[in-house]
Amino acid sequence: MPSKSKKAIESLATMTEMVLPNDTNTLNNLMGGRLMHLMDIVAAISAQRHSNRVVVTASVDNVSFSHPIALGDVVTLTAKVTRAFNSSMEVHISVSSENIPSGKKTVTNAAFFTFVAVDQAGNPISVPELEPETEEEKLHYDGALRRRQLRLVLAGRMKPEEAKELKSIFYTNEKG
């Protein structure tokens, strides 16, 4: 593991796009796949800033489309690494839309993506640890281990009984 840790703010990435006709569905709203494409890009930039390495997307948590983003709206995506493990990093992405003429701003989406840093041959490589500073960063950092274990259980890469952080979800009568 690299000896130097990094602060979460060092990985901050922000991207702004205007929703154009080619980005929309038949209801003149931003297509979900286009939004996920933008989320993947901004999250990858954040993970690269943290690791100083090439990164690949390993997983995408649940993405809910709670508010439509209309043609002509400005979309702002913000990403920041929430926790680093051996070679993987969890990144939180927040999406908001803005209708500039009306002045209306809406938080539309949030998700966690996981990236793995790789070397020139495509093999996983270690990344610096993360130092959370703000209360929000500490909350994301603390929850990251549970989210990671849940991802691994759902992917079949960890047995539920091995997910110590999730024990209360899987075993309600467990003692100790």
Report the Cα 104 to chain-centroid distance in Å: 25
- pLDDT tens over the chain, length 176 residues: 445 899 999 999 999 999 999 999 999 999 999 999 999 999 999 999 999 999 999 999 888 888 999 999 999 999 999 999 999 999 999 999 999 999 999 999 999 999 999 999 999 999 999 999 999 999 999 888 888 888 877 778 777 777 777 766 555 555 54
Query: Domains of the chain, with CATH numbers?
Result: 6-132 (3.10.129.10)
Give dist(CA 47, CA 115) in Å, integer.
7
Prediction pTM value? 0.88
Please choose, from the candidates 119, 74, 114, 107, the residue with its C-alpha nearest in 3D space to the C-alpha of residue 91: 114
